[in-house]
Structure formats: structure tokens, C-alpha cells
């Protein structure tokens, strides 16, 4: 028989019943249940009771898909006590229809956001385009702070911030690691247009440069290589940088085969400026293809006389520089100037080049009558460059040379090769009628307070020019 003396089980008030909806206790000790608003799950939201400081109807229409748990819903979606039963499936279906649920701990943030929106609507507000135009006139150092204004400005300023990243040995590895994250695989690929690695001494891995070139192959326009970590993988990656306009390998200390370099750049149709690496080896192939738009060329490294005399330089080159070429002689220099000198507007000769004589560029004015700027070291010219034989008066036009820069390595006796009166006579005889700027190195050993130098200064000032001391 059943134990009739056993007391019946009673449900205490300290227990809570698992129901769909919010539970509350009546004044008489019983439980009161309130179901969830069915409109939430049918796509029609119940109208919330008006609260103090609420937005107007048109603004609420824009924010109707943001539902606050305590202020917009009649029932509790996920109870704070963690003991109330919730219909998770019905809530998930409502979320799938576009409903956005704000958890209780974000109620304060949501209310503050609404107040900020209301303040913006009531006050004067400039169009977004005008705000951006104002930002463009501010300093670039303030871009990081300006990106915190809002998401729209953040995404608008992001391409400008990454247009020319300022990289050095401290932040380079962090920059590479950030770009190689899986989430950033395609995020910054169209932003970087100028990649300057000249301030990086050692990048540890040779593959870093190659990976960066492949990362920005669709947008990169200017590339300045670092001193190290530029090898064959980077040369291969250069082939895919179709938008590249400036390629500066001036600082590369590693040995590079010029034949491989030409294989990488011959199909770069947009390339305009090219600086050879100073550690390049001799190239015996003289039938290479030059980029069609190349106008600036800096020759250095393993360039030989045979390369200069047998190569077919493009007619688009107007700016030619010689630097760190230990294997070229006067014969090769005169040969290339005789062939392309008439198309040059800028000619630069840097020290040292041990195979050149002390008069290697005395014929520069004869071969290059259209020069606008001439930079040379005193080591490769003499006083003859300014006489009427090597610097004649042009028949059909005035000689257009406007800037003349004479540098000096500081060796003893170099300043005696040239006298200030030689330049003064050439200017006074209208053989340099357009000369406006004459820059002289202080290492020439000239006394800039002497009478000959002061005569030169007076002659140029009379013609609207000036003399500068380097």
C-alpha cells in the first residue's frame, strides 16, 4: 500500500516556473506570466510606449530594426537570471528576418547614440563632401586623429594614409605582418602607391620585398629599394607591377644581373624613371628592350664602354645621370652624348668615376645644346668648357641653360682648374644668355669675397641671375 502518511509535495515560492516570457510575482504571492510580443516574430513590431526624450516618428522609422531588450520588447529574450526558459528558435528566426537585438548592457550606449543623432539633426550640419574637403587642407600628422571621427571618414581617409607609408627599421616588420594577415589579404592592395624602403637597413628576410611587390602589384607606382634583401625573387615580382612609374635601385648593395633586370622591366609600359643598382654586373646583351615611356635614366654599377656604345637608348630619354661607373672611359661618354645629346635637357655627372679623365665632359655643351640643367664635378671638366670653341653661340636660338652646378670632392688643387673669370666672360659674351642660377661648391677653394668672384656675382645679378654657395 502507498504510504498515506507521506506529506504531499508542495511547490515553494522560491521556485520559478519555466515559461515562455517574463515572469513576475503578484502582490498575493502568486505568479504572473506575460508572453513575448508575437509581432516580433511575424516581422511587425509592437509600438513602444513613448519615453521621455524619444525621437520623432521619422527618425524612429529609420531605427526600427534596433530593438532594445527592456524598452522595446514586452518580453525578455535572454533573462539576466539565466533561469528563465527562452524560445531560442523563434528568436533566431526573427533575427534572420533582419531584426537587430541590443543586449541590456548596451542600452546606455544606444540611448547616447540616439541623443547624438538628435543633436546632429537639430544643429547645422555640413555635407559630407565639404567636411572631407576641409580635412584635406589640414596637416597630414592629424590624419590618425581625424580617422576616429566616424566610420565614413575613416574609410575615406584610409587610402590617403596608406598612399605613402613612412617605413623604417622599427615598424617595417610590423607593417609586413599586418598586411599578411588573412583578414587583410585584399584590404590594402589598392591603397599603397609609393613604397619607399630606403630607410630600412636590414629586413631580415629576402622574401619580404618580393611579397610586398606582389601585394601591391595593381597599384604601386613608385618603388625605392632598400640596401639589402633585393634579389632574384624581387626582380621576378617586378614583372607584375604594371602601374610602376619609378624604379629606384640606387641603394641596392647586392649583385644584380642587368640581363635579369631588363627581362623584368621590358614589359612595364608605364615605367618613366629607372636607376640602375650600383652593384650590377656586366651585361653582354645589347639588344634589350627599353620601356617605351622612359625619360629618366641613371647609369651606375657594372656599366662598360661596350654597353654604352652598343646599346640602343630610346629617344624618350631627356634626363641622364652618371654615378659610380668605375668601368667607363672618355670614349664611351663622348659616344653616348654624340648619339642622344640633342634630346637631353638635364645632365648630371657624380664623383667618383676613376676611369674618366680630368676633361671627360668638356664637350658636353657641344653635344647637348638643349640642356636646362648641368650638374658636374670639377674633377671631369676644365676651363676649356667655357671657351668659345666648346661653348659657341647658337645660331638659331639662345642656349637654354638656366641652372649650372659645379661640385667638388675637396681634393687639393681641383679649384685651380677653373677660374671665376672663365664663367664671367662666357656670360658677358651672351654664350650663356639664359643662365639664372649658378651653384658653386665651397670645396672649390675659391675666395668668395675676392674681386673675380664678386665680378661674376655682379654680372649674373645684372642679368637677373644669382650665385649660390653649396
441's grid cell? 661648391
Query: How many residues make up the chain in this entry?
Result: 470
For residue 325, is it within any domain?
no
At which of 294, 313, 337 does a domain end? 294
325's grid cell? 661607373
Helix (H, G, I), strand (E, B) or coil at 71: coil
Label the pairing between strands 22-25 and 31-34: antiparallel
> Inter-axis angle of helices 420-428 and 451-462, to 10 degrees?
30
Residue of 319, 308, 191, 189 whose CA lies nearest to 246: 319
Same domain, 110 and 188: no
Distance CA 331, CA 307 (A): 12
Q: What is the pLDDT of residue 288?
A: 81
For residue 1, is it within any domain?
no
Same domain, 354 and 458: yes
Same domain, 152 and 201: no
At which of 103, 122, 141 does a domain end? 122
Range of the domain at 149: 128-157
For residue 48, is it within any domain?
yes
For the chain (470 residues), the mean pLDDT of every run of 10, in chain order, is 59 48 44 42 44 46 46 42 55 67 63 72 72 87 84 86 87 85 77 89 73 89 87 87 92 83 88 88 74 92 87 93 91 94 95 91 94 94 92 90 92 85 92 93 89 92 91
Indicate the number of domains in the chain: 4
Residue of 351, 352, 417 whose CA lies nearest to 382: 417
Model's pTM, two decimal places?
0.70
For residue 2, is it within any domain?
no
460's grid cell? 649674373
Q: What is the pLDDT of residue 46?
A: 43
At which of 264, 294, 324 does a domain end? 294
Q: Give the CATH number of the domain where residue 364 resides.
A: 3.40.50
Q: What is the pLDDT of residue 413?
A: 79
Same domain, 264 and 367: no
Distance CA 404, CA 374 (A): 5
Same domain, 148 and 196: no
For residue 27, is it within any domain?
yes
Q: What is the pLDDT of residue 374?
A: 96
Q: What is the pLDDT of residue 20?
A: 42
For residue 460, is it within any domain?
yes
Same domain, 275 and 395: no
Same domain, 77 and 141: no
Distance CA 277, CA 220 (A): 20
Residue of 15, 115, 121 whose CA lies nearest to 58: 121
Q: What is the pLDDT of residue 194?
A: 93
Same domain, 134 and 149: yes
254 with 228: CB under 8 angstroms?
A: yes
**Which residues is 320 bridged to in the sheet?**
297, 347
For residue 14, is it within any domain?
no
Distance CA 309, CA 304 (A): 9
CA angle 372, 349, 287 (to 5 degrees): 95
Same domain, 232 and 247: yes
Helix (H, G, I), strand (E, B) or coil at 246: strand
Same domain, 285 and 167: yes
Residue 408: left (phi > 0), alpha (psi -120 to 50), or beta? beta
Same domain, 113 and 172: no
For residue 12, is it within any domain?
no
Same domain, 196 and 180: yes
Q: What is the pLDDT of residue 68?
A: 44
Amino acid at each position: 500500500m502507498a504510504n498515506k502518511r507521506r506529506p504531499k509535495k508542495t511547490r515553494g515560492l522560491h521556485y520559478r516556473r519555466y515559461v515562455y516570457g517574463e515572469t513576475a510575482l503578484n502582490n498575493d504571492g502568486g505568479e504572473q506570466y506575460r508572453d513575448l510580443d508575437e509581432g516580433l516574430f511575424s516581422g511587425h513590431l509592437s509600438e513602444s510606449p513613448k519615453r521621455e526624450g524619444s525621437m520623432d516618428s521619422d527618425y524612429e522609422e529609420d531605427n526600427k530594426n534596433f530593438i532594445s531588450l527592456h524598452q522595446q520588447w514586452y518580453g525578455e529574450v535572454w533573462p539576466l537570471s539565466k533561469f528563465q526558459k527562452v524560445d531560442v528558435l523563434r528568436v533566431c528566426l526573427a533575427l534572420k528576418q533582419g531584426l537587430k537585438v541590443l543586449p541590456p548592457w548596451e542600452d546606455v550606449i544606444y540611448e547616447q547614440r540616439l541623443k547624438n543623432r538628435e543633436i546632429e539633426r537639430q544643429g547645422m550640419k555640413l555635407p559630407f563632401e565639404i567636411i572631407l574637403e576641409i580635412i584635406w587642407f589640414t596637416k597630414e600628422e592629424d590624419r590618425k586623429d581625424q580617422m576616429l571621427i566616424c566610420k565614413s571618414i575613416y574609410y575615406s581617409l584610409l587610402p590617403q594614409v596608406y598612399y605613402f607609408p613612412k617605413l623604417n627599421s622599427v615598424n617595417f616588420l610590423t607593417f609586413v605582418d599586418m598586411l599578411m594577415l588573412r583578414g587583410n589579404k585584399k584590404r590594402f592592395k589598392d591603397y599603397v602607391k609609393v613604397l619607399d624602403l630606403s630607410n630600412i637597413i636590414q629586413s631580415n628576410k629576402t622574401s619580404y620585398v618580393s611579397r610586398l611587390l606582389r601585394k601591391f602589384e595593381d597599384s604601386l607606382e613608385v618603388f625605392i629599394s632598400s640596401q639589402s634583401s633585393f634579389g632574384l625573387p624581387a626582380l621576378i615580382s617586378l614583372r607584375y607591377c604594371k602601374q610602376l612609374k619609378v624604379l629606384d635601385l640606387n641603394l641596392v648593395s647586392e649583385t644584380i644581373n642587368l640581363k635579369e633586370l631588363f627581362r623584368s622591366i621590358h614589359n612595364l609600359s608605364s615605367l618613366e624613371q629607372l636607376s640602375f643598382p650600383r652593384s650590377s654586373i656586366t651585361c653582354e646583351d645589347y639588344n634589350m628592350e627599353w620601356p617605351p615611356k622612359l625619360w629618366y635614366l641613371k647609369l651606375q654599377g657594372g656599366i662598360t664602354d661596350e654597353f654604352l656604345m652598343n646599346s640602343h637608348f630610346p629617344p624618350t630619354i631627356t634626363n641622364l645621370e652618371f654615378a659610380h661607373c668605375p668601368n667607363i672611359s672618355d670614349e664611351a661618354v663622348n659616344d653616348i652624348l654624340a648619339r642622344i645629346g640633342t634630346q637631353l635637357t638635364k645632365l648630371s655627372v657624380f664623383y667618383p668615376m676613376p676611369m674618366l679623365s680630368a676633361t671627360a665632359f668638356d664637350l658636353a655643351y657641344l653635344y647637348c645644346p638643349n640642356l636646362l640643367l648641368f650638374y658636374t664635378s670639377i674633377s671631369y671638366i676644365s676651363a676649356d668648357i667655357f671657351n668659345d670653341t666648346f661653348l659657341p653661340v647658337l645660331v638659331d636660338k639662345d642656349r637654354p641653360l638656366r641652372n649650372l652646378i659645379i661640385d667638388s670632392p675637396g681634393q687639393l688643387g681641383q679649384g685651380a682648374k677653373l677660374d671665376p673669370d672663365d664663367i664671367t666672360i662666357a656670360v658677358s659674351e651672351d654664350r650663356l644668355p639664359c643662365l639664372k642660377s649658378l651653384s658653386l661648391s665651397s670645396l672649390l677653394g675659391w675666395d668668395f669675397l675676392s674681386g673675380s668672384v664678386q665680378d661674376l656675382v655682379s654680372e649674373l645679378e645684372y642679368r637677373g641671375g644669382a650665385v649660390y654657395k653649396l
